[in-house]
Amino acid sequence: MSDEETTMELTETSIEAWLLANPVRAYAFGERLIKFMADEDGLLAQPSLGTMEDRLTAWATEHKIKARLLFMRLMGKIVEAKKAIEKEAGEE
């Protein structure tokens, strides 16, 4: 965990930058967000994925529409980046 993860102001722009810079973590968080889209209590009851993910969960529950639209727009890029990382790790 970086200091940035605990101090970064959460805006759509900063969240997008973090998600694209951390595709494996973003994918896990996005999966959870989609799974519990209609169950805020269920989402909040899940075990922590990390400090940033906890902050994103709080932001997403406060800004439901913005969060859904952001993840829908970015999920393709996140999945592609995650696959590339996994492929690279498999080649080593």
Residue-level pLDDT at 1 = 56
Residue-level pLDDT at 92 = 55
Of 30, 25, 29, the C-alpha closest to 72 is 30
Residue-level pLDDT at 58 = 94
- Which residue, chain included where needed, has tokens 């529950």? 61
Burial group, residue 26, by CB count within 10 angstroms (0-12, 13-18, 19+): buried
Residue-level pLDDT at 57 = 95
Residue-level pLDDT at 59 = 95
Residue-level pLDDT at 37 = 84
Two structure tokens written together for 87:
């492929």
Instruction: Tell me which residues of the chain have a pLDDT lower than 50.
Output: none
Residue-level pLDDT at 61 = 93
Q: How far apart are the first and last CA of the chain?
A: 25
